[in-house]
Chains A and B, each alone.
Chain A
Amino acid sequence: MNAKKVIVSVLLSAALCALAAFGQGAAAPEDVLSIVRAIDAKQRSATSRQDMVMTTYPDMGDEGNKREFAIRSYSKGEDDSYMEFLEPRSIKGLRILGKGDDNWVFFPSTGRTRKIAGTSKKDSVQGVGGDFSYEDVGGGSFESKYDFRLLKSDSGSWTLEGVAKKKDAVYSKIVLTADKAKSLPTRIEFYTEEDGYFKDLVMTDFKVMGGRDAATRMTMVNLKKKSKTVVVVKAAEYDIQIDERYFNPSRFDK
């Protein structure tokens, strides 16, 4: 091979490498957004119905001290949610309806429905959500709430850091780990300005339910209170027809 050809080959190779590197850098933000959108899409559903068991441990070191609740929930879009307690017997039939920022509670013991307005997003869901707050169970995509960047990518997962878009967001930052094959989160760390690393959500036991892959076991640990809540999904259906009465404040208690 003569010298000229060598020089051209080297220059071409260098140009190709530069292009590849440029392409890598230029592609990164887009990839992260794609990842986040893929995760959001996987979790999005027009409607859902779930039967679950929620176990709260006020002291996560004490597995014997726990409160167990069997719950049926319905959701529609990002704003409407309905929960009904099936167990324990003492609160069987208690229902909570959430529409946006407003919540109603139906007490089967008295037959009354009370409106709970202006609840703080960071509060536990009507006190019965354990370590899951309204923010945690509420709707809204990751994309709409956080600006993400990629922290790490390995063969099985992505780790993304999301900074809150709004100043008054409940969580100032989240670190989300998602399974590449499933495009589903496996772990989310929640941070607040005040407490720093505040809560930890781990999602495991992925199964196909209602035609989609989803985590059936979610464990939320509150690092400040040293408490934890475990939600186990027993059955789920998505994008199904749900009676409107479940999301109607004057009918959900019937």
Chain B
Amino acid sequence: MKLRERILGSIGEFVIRHNKLILIAGLVLAAVSVYYASGIKSNTRINDMLSKGNPRVVAYDNLTADFGGASMIVTLEGGTKERMAAAAEDLVVKMRAKPELSRYIRSISLKLERDFVLDRGFLLQKPADIRRMRKLFEKTSILPFVTGLNENLESTYTGDEAEEDLETGRQELDAVSSMAQIANFADALRVAVEAPEALDPRAAAGGLTDAIVLGDQYSFSQDGSMLLFAVTMNFDIASNLTACDGILADMKALSASLGPAYPEVEFGYSGDIAIQADENAAMSSDMLVPSIIAYAAILVLFIFSFRQVRSIVFAMGCLVLGILYNFGVIGATFGELNLVTSMIASLLVGMGIDYGIQVTTSFNSFREEGHGLKESIRLTFRKSGYGVLLAAATTSASFFVLIACGSKAMKQLGFVAGVGILTCLAAMIFVLPALMAWLGKRTESANRIPQIDYGLLERFGAFAARRRVPVLIVSGIVAAALCVSALRLDIEYDMMELEPQKGPAMIAYRKILDKFEMNPNSAIVVTNGVEEARALTSKLEKLSSVSEVQSVSNYLPSADEQAERLAEIARIRADLPRALSMAYGPSEVDALVREVQRLEWNLIELGDISVAGLGENNKIVRKRNAMIREILGAEVGKEGEEVFQKLIAALKADPERAAARLTALDAPFSAKAVDMVARMAAADRPMTAADLPRSLTDNFLDKKTGTRNIITIYPKASATATNEGLRRYDAALREIAPSITGSTPLFLDFFDEMLGESKKAALYVGILVLLFAFLSFRSVKYTLIAAVPPVLSLVLLFGTLPLIGWKINALNLVTLPLNIGIGVAYGTYMLQRYLVEGRDLRAALKYTAKAIFLSAFTTMVGFGSLGLAGSFKMLASFGTVLFIGIGYCYLTTMLVIPALLGDRKAAAADAGETVIEERSAS
């Protein structure tokens, strides 16, 4: 008897003799594991999985240390703009008043403060714009004012001396902002003209001047149907994962409390915190539900596969123990599960049961041959123990070798999965036989449950062995064809495609993409001062992929710029406009109608001009189409708000009444306008950071230094809609500043890292597997045959994915080394038995076909359950890809290996020869 058989036999004896002790030890270990496992947290932060040396991770960690960074984007839809704004204001008041929320809030970017705009507004405008404003407010009566507005527009964009280009995101936003001001003004004027007699002209005049000077204080979509604001927390997601669920719950409770006052307004949530909450919910169900499904499916299969129900129950119970031990180790070491390791329970259900299957199958076959309980256990250890240990050693070593990879995600997966294999193995070779020894049936009894006949699988393999040439040819053709298909394999770089798609945060995210034509996943960078921010912002705004850059430099012009602007402001101050008063009659109303029509035409033409530089569906066109109507050359498309035609209709409906209203309104409007200009022109010194309102300082500046500041970059939705676009956007950011970080750059780095690490890991695992196989078989031929299923299955897998419309992503890349490490086991089992049975393929198939099928099936179910039940797309894709990969491993094991080995007995029988059996010394 070989040495290893003796050793294994001794282990078997030990288990038989001390079965109760082993069981008690197993239970104690389980209790300890539960204790440690209860402290495990889930952390889906991508940057925590990247190598610590990654400059973007370093930049992100430094940034979040000073600025916090977890964000919540709140959206409001429904009702008028005024109602949405009022609802948002009330929500913010409630947020600040709730201590459980307000203690986490660093800043809320709801609107730009009115006082700040009125006191410093001129300093934020270019000298040419200040001159235009000065000219605009030279005549402060309504009719001349509207005429001046037209002249202003024409000189800026559409007329003889048009100065402004429309090419960059900043120019686009400025134009949209002007359009919003004009639309609000027209609307306010219409309301004033249509208003009942009781309306206070001064209040109406205030509304008019606010509309034209302040415009949209809130962030509305171009069509005015959605309001959006951001809440930034004073912590980073990973530093306080547990707070996220609570914060979101509180926000939802607050918005629900506003329901009675604003029944038409619907609140939505996106951003880091809401997405994290969606991920938490998905992961909780993705960890539990698929595991339960896998467990149940395996249990049902076992009931119909094994005569001895007890052994099934014991095996399943030991599987639970093995997984529990693994979670205990996780709790005692890392204390957290990341995106990659969160699937470990489902993986172990599928992989860990393999050893139980081998032990149980072997045990039952010896029992059926008439051996007693304890003798069957001894024989199981002696005959099958080595194969089980070898398979477990190979698989666990394949995982442990991932620790050599640079990526933290791979290291943790390698450790957790490697340990998991060993804990399941330990449970199956110690606790399971101990249970059988203590509680197993002493006598065989008939099982009335119908059993699956696995003879078909044996015949399947035998067929492949007899028809080896055609099988090998067909396999080769299929492999070649799928190899060609693999060239079309696409990659998913957009991490949002991998989030829980049906989660409320994703739904809100897609609405923001659509309505604002902006991707709310921002990139961020910190600079040490305003001038550095200015230089960087200027470069970023020129990128065609960038929608908006939020920077403190937008609110703090340079010293030179301020000097120029102060000079212009001083000219205004020296010659302030005078309050006027004009009487309106039907001819003045007519003139106003003509000017309003001219205003509409100017804005229509502005949209036409913008198409050339900014594309057909730019924000200016969308704003124009929303506030007026859709314009298609000389044709008209969808209806818009028709703000100008409504005003014209109001003026024309009753010109006498309109004239009276305008007369009453004119003087207060003029007075308000003059007051506003005087206030804005009072700025007589440069602005500093101390002049910024709290909403801006909280948002942009570091509290410690007051000079370090954060720049937030939002890409265009269209620029990041494709993989190529994402890559270009990222490359453009990297070229400007390598330290620009944020979720999109980090995810792309994560993908690159996982790609590199997966290839490395696959190589390491491949070498290890070949080494193990060679040490075991001591034959190059059988080593190579053992390698066929994992290698061929990868070719088949990558060729199949494009055919079913699946893409490779950062997570399912990990399947590369896993497929090799897990898939090699089936061939190893078969080859090992083949050699033990003296190169008798039929005998090998007889003893291994069922076990290999059950191993493969349970693993596939374990992974596949993630794909079916997993609501987290990233995890689901991982499960599905492995399901297909392991399936191919099984098929190639049952088809190609028998074809390669051939059936010597059948061949000899055909040739009329006798085969001398060579039993191996084992």
Chain A contact residues, CB within 8 Å of chain B: 56, 58-59, 61-62, 64-65, 67, 69, 88-94, 107-112, 114-118, 124, 126-128, 130
Q: Is the CB of B604 within 8 A of A109?
A: yes
Shortest distance in angstroms between A36's beta carbon and chain B's nearest beta carbon? 33
- Return chain B residues, CB-CB under 8 Å to A127: 165-166, 609, 612-613
B497 interfacial by beta-carbon distance below 8 Å: no
Q: Is the CB of A108 within 8 A of B634?
A: yes
B174 interfacial by beta-carbon distance below 8 Å: no
B683-733, CB < 8 A from A: 718-719, 722, 724-725, 728, 732
- Return chain B residues, CB-CB under 8 Å to A118: 160-161
Q: Is the CB of A90 within 8 A of B608?
A: yes
Q: Is the CB of B718 within 8 A of A65?
A: yes
Kindly list the 8 A-B residue pairs having the minimum CB-CB distance in the complex, ordered from nearest.
A92-B633, A128-B612, A108-B634, A110-B601, A58-B544, A59-B544, A127-B612, A93-B633
- A114 to B154: give the CA distance in the assembly, Å: 10
Q: Is the CB of A67 within 8 A of B608?
A: no
Q: Is the CB of B632 within 8 A of A67?
A: no
A sample of 5 inter-chain contacts (CB < 8 A) reads: A56-B612, A58-B544, A90-B631, A107-B601, A118-B161
Specify which of A61, A62, A69, A91 is in contact with B608 (CB 8 Å cutoff).
Answer: A91
- Return chain A residues, CB-CB under 8 Å to B427: none
B79-112, CB < 8 A from A: none
Q: A59-B728, A65-B719 are in contact. Are A93 and B612 (CB under 8 A)?
A: no
Nearest chain A residue, comparing its CB with the CB of B624: A109
Question: 0/1 per residue, B165-177, Cβ < 8 Å to A?
Answer: 1110000000000
B158 interfacial by beta-carbon distance below 8 Å: yes
- A115 to B728: give the CA distance in the assembly, Å: 39
Shortest distance in angstroms between A125's beta carbon and chain B's nearest beta carbon? 9
* Contact count band on B: 35 or more
- A62 to B724: give the CA distance in the assembly, Å: 8
- Return chain A residues, CB-CB under 8 Å to B635: 89
Specify which of B158, B633, B725 is in contact with A91 (CB 8 Å cutoff).
Answer: B633
B615 interfacial by beta-carbon distance below 8 Å: yes
Q: A62-B728, A88-B616 are in contact. Are A109 and B544 (CB under 8 A)?
A: no
Shortest distance in angstroms between A136's beta carbon and chain B's nearest beta carbon? 16
Q: Is the CB of A92 within 8 A of B632?
A: yes
Shortest distance in angstroms between B733's beta carbon and chain A's nearest beta carbon? 13
Nearest chain A residue, comparing its CB with the CB of B157: A127
Shortest distance in angstroms between A108's beta carbon and chain B's nearest beta carbon? 4
- A118 to B607: give the CA distance in the assembly, Å: 22
Q: Is the CB of B633 within 8 A of A67?
A: no
- Return chain A residues, CB-CB under 8 Å to B165: 127
Q: A61-B728, A127-B612, A127-B613 are in contact. Are A94 and B633 (CB under 8 A)?
A: yes
Question: 0/1 per residue, B887-922, Cβ < 8 Å to A?
Answer: 000000000000000000000000000000000000
Specify which of A69, A93, A116, A117 is in contact with B634 (CB 8 Å cutoff).
Answer: A93
Q: Is the CB of B612 within 8 A of A67?
A: yes
B59 interfacial by beta-carbon distance below 8 Å: no
With A89-B633, A110-B604 already in contact, 5 other A-B pairs whose C-beta atoms are closer than 8 Å: A108-B634, A110-B605, A118-B160, A118-B161, A127-B165
- A67 to B718: give the CA distance in the assembly, Å: 13
Shortest distance in angstroms between B617's beta carbon and chain A's nearest beta carbon? 9
B162 interfacial by beta-carbon distance below 8 Å: yes
B316 interfacial by beta-carbon distance below 8 Å: no
- A58 to B722: give the CA distance in the assembly, Å: 17
Nearest chain A residue, comparing its CB with the CB of B542: A225
Q: Is the CB of B632 within 8 A of A65?
A: no
- A93 to B608: give the CA distance in the assembly, Å: 11
Shortest distance in angstroms between A236's beta carbon and chain B's nearest beta carbon? 23
Shortest distance in angstroms between B167's beta carbon and chain A's nearest beta carbon? 8
Q: Is the CB of A107 within 8 A of B724?
A: no
Q: Is the CB of A116 within 8 A of B160?
A: yes
- A65 to B167: give the CA distance in the assembly, Å: 13
- Return chain A residues, CB-CB under 8 Å to B265: none
Q: A91-B608, A110-B601, A127-B613 are in contact. Are A62 and B544 (CB under 8 A)?
A: yes
Q: Is the CB of B605 within 8 A of A112?
A: yes
What DSSP secondary structure best describes chain A's contact surface? loop
Q: A64-B724, A64-B725, A93-B633 are in contact. Are A109 and B608 (CB under 8 A)?
A: yes
B367-422, CB < 8 A from A: none
B624-680, CB < 8 A from A: 631-635
Shortest distance in angstroms between B227's beta carbon and chain A's nearest beta carbon? 27
Q: Is the CB of B545 within 8 A of A67?
A: no
Q: Is the CB of B722 within 8 A of A64?
A: yes
- Return chain B residues, CB-CB under 8 Å to A92: 632-634
Q: Is the CB of B605 within 8 A of A90?
A: no
Shortest distance in angstroms between B679's beta carbon and chain A's nearest beta carbon? 35
B791 interfacial by beta-carbon distance below 8 Å: no
B621 interfacial by beta-carbon distance below 8 Å: yes
Nearest chain B residue, comparing its CB with the CB of A119: B162
Q: Is the CB of A59 within 8 A of B605?
A: no
Q: Is the CB of B621 within 8 A of A90?
A: yes
Q: Is the CB of A90 within 8 A of B611?
A: yes
- A88 to B635: give the CA distance in the assembly, Å: 12
Nearest chain B residue, comparing its CB with the CB of A65: B544
Q: A62-B728, A117-B160, A127-B166 are in contact. Are A108 and B609 (CB under 8 A)?
A: no
- A4 to B567: give the CA distance in the assembly, Å: 92
- A115 to B719: give the CA distance in the assembly, Å: 35
Shortest distance in angstroms between B663's beta carbon and chain A's nearest beta carbon? 30
User: Max chain B CB contacts within 10 Å: which of A88, A108, A110, A124?
Assistant: A110
Nearest chain A residue, comparing its CB with the CB of B166: A127
- Return chain A residues, CB-CB under 8 Å to B607: 109
- Return chain B residues, CB-CB under 8 Å to A90: 608, 611, 616, 621, 631-633
- A140 to B348: give the CA distance in the assembly, Å: 78
Question: 0/1 per residue, B536-577, Cβ < 8 Å to A?
Answer: 000000011100000000000000000000000000000000
B159 interfacial by beta-carbon distance below 8 Å: yes
- A53 to B883: give the CA distance in the assembly, Å: 50
- A92 to B611: give the CA distance in the assembly, Å: 11
Shortest distance in angstroms between A123's beta carbon and chain B's nearest beta carbon? 8
- A94 to B159: give the CA distance in the assembly, Å: 15
- Return chain A residues, CB-CB under 8 Å to B732: 59
User: Max chain A CB contacts within 10 Å: which of B158, B633, B722?
Assistant: B633
- Return chain B residues, CB-CB under 8 Å to A67: 611-612, 615-616
Shortest distance in angstroms between B565's beta carbon and chain A's nearest beta carbon? 25
Shortest distance in angstroms between B864's beta carbon and chain A's nearest beta carbon? 36
- Return chain A residues, CB-CB under 8 Å to B725: 62, 64-65
- A62 to B730: give the CA distance in the assembly, Å: 13
- A67 to B161: give the CA distance in the assembly, Å: 26
Shortest distance in angstroms between B895's beta carbon and chain A's nearest beta carbon? 43
Shortest distance in angstroms between B97's beta carbon and chain A's nearest beta carbon? 46
- A64 to B870: give the CA distance in the assembly, Å: 34
Shortest distance in angstroms between A118's beta carbon and chain B's nearest beta carbon? 7
- A108 to B635: give the CA distance in the assembly, Å: 9
- Return chain B residues, CB-CB under 8 Å to A116: 159-160, 162
Shortest distance in angstroms between B222's beta carbon and chain A's nearest beta carbon? 15
Nearest chain B residue, comparing its CB with the CB of A110: B601
User: Max chain B CB contacts within 10 Å: which of A62, A90, A111?
Assistant: A90
Q: Is the CB of A115 within 8 A of B608?
A: no
- A176 to B789: give the CA distance in the assembly, Å: 62
Nearest chain A residue, comparing its CB with the CB of B612: A128
- A91 to B607: give the CA distance in the assembly, Å: 9
Q: A90-B616, A94-B633, A109-B634 are in contact. Are A114 and B605 (CB under 8 A)?
A: yes
B818-840, CB < 8 A from A: none
Shortest distance in angstroms between A96's beta carbon and chain B's nearest beta carbon? 11
Specify which of A61, A88, A93 is in contact with B611 (CB 8 Å cutoff).
Answer: A88
Q: Is the CB of B633 within 8 A of A62?
A: no
Shortest distance in angstroms between A128's beta carbon and chain B's nearest beta carbon? 4
Q: Is the CB of A109 within 8 A of B611?
A: no
- Return chain B residues, CB-CB under 8 Å to A64: 722, 724-725
- A117 to B160: give the CA distance in the assembly, Å: 5
Specify which of B545, B604, B613, B634 is in contact with A62 (CB 8 Å cutoff).
Answer: B545
- A124 to B631: give the CA distance in the assembly, Å: 24
- Return chain B residues, CB-CB under 8 Å to A93: 633-634
